[in-house]
Amino acid sequence: SRQRPFLEGPGEAKQDWEIMCGVAKKMGYATAFHYKNAAEIFREHAALSWYGNDGKHCFDLGALTTLSESDYDELSPLQWPVKKDCKNGKSWISTKRLFNDGKFYTDNGRAKFIPIYAHMPISSPDETYPLVLNTGRVRDHWHTMTRTGVSPRLSGHKQEAYVEIHPTDAIARGIKQGALVNINNELGTLCVKAEISTAQLPGSVFVPIHWGKDFANKALVSELIAGITDPVSGQPESKHATVEISAYPASWHGFIISRQKLYTPLNKISQHIQWSVRRVENAWLYSLTGAETKTLDQGKFIRSVFCSQDDHSNWIEYLDYARQTFRGARFKGEALDSCIFISPINEAQLAQTWLISLFSKEFLEDSERRALLTGRPAKALPETGKIICACFNVGVKTIQTAIYAQQLRTTQEIGQCLKAGTNCGSCLPELKQLLP
């Protein structure tokens, strides 16, 4: 249920219904989840809020238990409780203001005051775990990314799970910008990219909550949070833990671009390889890092990520043992279906923009096929850099070039030039940081 005073419109609920039906079918509960449309689900939701309530709880949609499908489609946002109102000519009316009658949802109708005694968090920094871990959201993602994670535009800003750390703490631990790091405490270990920033105080680090098992194999921040709750409210100490951070001993880096998500193959190798995935145009992009060099000596292993024994797709590859570099590509018909690049140094990022553009083509020219194995595009492409403005898909390189070339001095001037920051405005803080 949506535990908030305002109910959202039917458009989002219909999307929820389609997702829920698909999940129920995969889990083997298709017969139990027999709803024909979102209105049927909503009527049961309303009935559950009303059953046994009798004015005991604020959340009550009892008047909407008989809502028709057409009325549901036309339903505007409203605040609960929702009570019947025959005098108004409608079968229901929204509560305009809660507690307007001076009564609360308690046994005697009076408010309860609970004394609060402040105390320090249970988990406190020490020599073993000296850093305080904070968690939260990032700009373009919502919860576990079941929706935002399938949007190439929203996935372009924060492309991978990361830990934000102050420069002082990073230098003391030999951590460089963009490097993979281990975050650990007595509960577990995460492995994410380092983002060095003065936005964090020394001694504090931040990890976003969004990257679960579907988008990275070792980035679920809740695994580092102890199950400590407030004795009165039950509120968890979910935004506070203590950790230590160390550089991940990477021996090679790489990436995979594939039209399909690679659930099964990557789950088999997740113990030896750190990976994360994001949605790009027409494909999924996996970032890979490993600490064992033997992976490169197993061409069979690499091909198994893409090709089964009975798969007759075309496969081309390049392997340089001396430089420990591998590149491979798989074709279905004339179209590029997937590719993999592996190297001891993290230089593969340069080719990603070009490679992603190849997935929009129904066939590749001979020069493009040859370029796949060289790792460089046949023609030079402009670098846009990391996406800053998701609304208009404007990258950091494009913004920096415009600032320098046209002597831009305000975010308004950037907006006039590139449109960046002129829609939702959530990128304005980053635009300000780019200005001289």
pLDDT per position as a tens digit, 303-353 = 666 665 556 568 888 888 788 788 888 898 889 998 888 888 765 555 788
**DSSP three-state, residue 39:** helix
Burial class of 384 by CB neighbour count within 10 A (0 to 12, 13 to 18, 19+): middle
pTM: 0.75
pLDDT at 161: 95
Where helices occur in 163-256 by DSSP H, the ranges are 167-172
Q: What is the DSSP letter of 62?
A: G
Question: In this structure, are residues 346 and 251 in contact, taking their beta carbons and an 8 Å threshold?
Answer: no
Q: Bridge partners of 329?
A: 316, 339
Residue 297 CA to residue 83 CA, distance in Å, equals: 69
Q: C-alpha distances in angstroms, 317 versus 255, 341, 369, 406?
A: 15, 10, 11, 44
Q: Give the span between the Cα atoms of 149 and 158, in whole angstroms.
A: 11
Quick one: pLDDT at residue 270? 57
Regions of the chain with pLDDT less than 50: 1-11, 87
Q: How many residues does the chain have?
A: 436
Residue with the two structure tokens 């950037």: 414
Closest Cα partner for 161 from 202, 117, 219? Answer: 219
What span, in angstroms and rounded, lies between the C-alpha atoms of 394 and 26?
38
Residue 241: C-alpha distances to residues 1, 78, 123, 124, 221 (Å)? 29, 38, 6, 8, 10
Rounded Cα distance between 201 and 223, Å, is 23
